[in-house]
Amino acid sequence: MLEELQELKADATSALEKTTNLRELDEWRVQYLGRKGHLTSILRRLGSMSFEERRAVGAAANEVKFELEEALRAREGSLKERELAESLERTSIDVTLPGYPVALGRLHPVTRAIKEICEIFASMGFQVVEGPEVEWDYYNFEALNIPQDHPARDMWDTFWIDTPEDEHQLMLLRTHTSPMQIRLMEQTRPPVRAVVPGKVYRYEATDATHESMFHQIEGLAVDQGITLGDLKGTLFEFARRLFGSDRKVRFRCDYFPFVEPGVEMAIDCWICRGAGCRLCGHSGWIEILGAGMVHPEVLRRVNYDPDIYTGFAFGLGVERIPMLRYGIDDIRLFFGNDLRFLRQF
């Protein structure tokens, strides 16, 4: 009997080594350790043995059973590992292959100009705020000292918007960012220092230098004791930071209904340094923005006492900046959505 057990163990062990997968392993388990398996059949015969024999064979059989169970678990572990490795091999990808390139976006040249300009003013203590593109006549014209039927309205070609009959106000797409001067001052008391980037709209035939939608940045500073000197100093510093520290700046009188006095600021042409070239239209100067001291009438509108408070304002067209910088000769390229153009920036 003991011999039979040793044979069984040797048999089972060599059969176990021949199993190559988990299914075969289960068949092996049934054959040697199962309810109708070899070992069970030996154990069943214990009943017919003498006490001495039963003790010896019983102990040996249990030991073989224990050993075979151990061997089964070990085999199961290694077969599982092998199957995993094989399935990985079948489904694995070659991580050394080059991947698909990720399409990288970039900021639109107008967005970049807006960011750059706002950062310059932010570093000088100006807040950055935005306002509505659909505006009331009151903010776009009336409160800016441009009454109905005033010839100054001709300076802006306007998209009017139909408003309900019972609405006694006129609505339009803002023609400039200046209406935010009024909204800002209505909401706060001095000191006010803010820049307002945003889209503006004009009803006009488009050509290389005119679009019906473009961007402006408005600026406003109001406090006690602000003078034309502050306007010049602030805008001069701005021009130097944006266009180079050796820039010269020229201020000349201009007319805008909401400022008094009004000025236009130009910088010396950085290509010809004032001698005259194609970029500056042979004048040596490049006009950059309109500005002025906030008109006392405008201050009165928002209940700021013009005897106590003064301020300056300015407005500049954004598209003009990258056009000058990169030599872009058609404003319509900015919003034509031609990637060949946009990818250059």
> For residues 302 and 283, is the Cβ–Cβ distance under 8 A?
no
Q: State the Cα–Cα distance between residues 133 and 135, nearest whole angstrom.
A: 6
Residue 178 sits in the site that holds ligand DAH (CB under 6 A): yes
Taking CB under 6 A as the binding criterion, the range among 2-10, 98-106, 164-172, 284-292 that sits at the site for ligand DAH is 284-292
The candidate with the shortest Cα–Cα distance to 144, out of 103, 105, 199, 185, is: 185
Q: State the Cα–Cα distance between residues 140 and 145, nearest whole angstrom.
A: 10
Q: Is 30 a catalytic residue?
A: no
Residue 145 sits in the site that holds ligand DAH (CB under 6 A): no
Residue 28 sits in the site that holds ligand DAH (CB under 6 A): no
CB of 234 to ligand DAH, least distance (A): 12
The candidate with the shortest Cα–Cα distance to 182, out of 29, 36, 313, is: 313
Q: Is 23 a catalytic residue?
A: no
Residue entry with tokens 């250059």: 344
Residue 126 sits in the site that holds ligand DAH (CB under 6 A): no
Taking CB under 6 A as the binding criterion, the range among 2-10, 60-68, 188-196, 311-319 that sits at the site for ligand DAH is 311-319
Site string for ligand DAH, 256-275 (x = CB under 6 A): x--x----------------
Which two tokens mark 331?
A: 């404003």
Q: Is 192 a catalytic residue?
A: no
For the beta carbon of residue 196, count every other beta carbon within 10 angstroms.
24
Which phi and psi (to 5°) does residue 242 adopt? -80, -40
Residue 298 sits in the site that holds ligand DAH (CB under 6 A): no
Residue 315 sits in the site that holds ligand DAH (CB under 6 A): yes
Considering the candidates 113, 239, 263, 313, report the single residue annotated as catalytic. Answer: 313
Residue 131 sits in the site that holds ligand DAH (CB under 6 A): no
> For residues 221 and 235, is the Cβ–Cβ distance under 8 A?
no
Residue 301 sits in the site that holds ligand DAH (CB under 6 A): no
Query: Residue 266 or 291: which CB sits closer to ligand DAH?
Result: 291
Taking CB under 6 A as the binding criterion, the range among 128-136, 237-245, 307-315, 328-336 that sits at the site for ligand DAH is 307-315
* Identified binder of ligand DAH from the candidate list 217, 291, 321, 323, rule CB under 6 A: 291
Residue least distant from ligand DAH (Cβ): 315
Cα dihedral sign for 29, 35, 37, 41?
positive
From residue 93, give the alpha-carbon distance in Å to each of 102, 241, 297.
Answer: 19, 52, 74
CB of 146 to ligand DAH, least distance (A): 10
The candidate with the shortest Cα–Cα distance to 199, out of 171, 170, 175, 172, is: 175
Q: Give the total of residues touching ligand DAH (CB under 6 A).
A: 11
Q: Is 156 a catalytic residue?
A: yes
Per DSSP, the residues of 113-135 read: HHHHHHHHHHHTT-EE----SEE
Q: Is 270 a catalytic residue?
A: no
Q: Of 185-244, which residues contact ligand DAH (CB under 6 A)?
A: 218
Q: Is 176 a catalytic residue?
A: yes
Task: Please identify every residue annotated as catalytic.
Answer: 156, 176, 202, 216, 259, 313
